[in-house]
Amino acid sequence: MTLAEFLNARLADAEALANAAAADWDAEVVRYEWEDLPDEVYSHARLHDPARVLRQIEATRQILTLSEQAEEDGDTDAVAALYAVMEGFAAVDSDHPDHREDWS
């Protein structure tokens, strides 16, 4: 499995979960039900708002597309830079069984 394949698989996993959660997510209800939580706990929970997660997934996919384009164009400097960014994204899932140590 390549680094790009690994990242695309993790993005697909996250996207499926976010889409499933979106059906039941209501930010106003969340705010009301969690209003007594400390601000930092509520703020952390908002980071997992399905709409935000889906935007983050799309942004990551755009980076993967840029990497593919740079490789097709033979832009070795861009490929190297984008590969380093992709390794950083892969580090988030370093506990996944498909993660390779040489990506860290």
Q: Does residue 104 lie in a domain region?
A: no
Say if 103 falls within a structural domain: no
Question: Residue 66 falls within a domain, yes or no?
Answer: yes
pLDDT at 32: 62
| Chain-centroid distance, C-alpha 55 | 9
101 located within any domain: no
Residues recorded for the chain: 104
pTM here is 0.83
Per-residue pLDDT at 31: 63
- Per-residue pLDDT reduced to its tens digit, 20-50: 888 777 766 666 666 677 888 778 877 888 8
Which residues of the chain are under the pLDDT cut of 70? 27-35
Percent of the chain with pLDDT over 70: 90
Asked if the structure places residue 68 within a domain, the reply is: yes
Do the domain assignments include residue 102?
Answer: no
DSSP state of 31: H
Structural domain harbouring 18: 3-96
Give the count of domains, the chain.
Answer: 1
Sign of CA dihedral 50, 16, 21, 89: negative
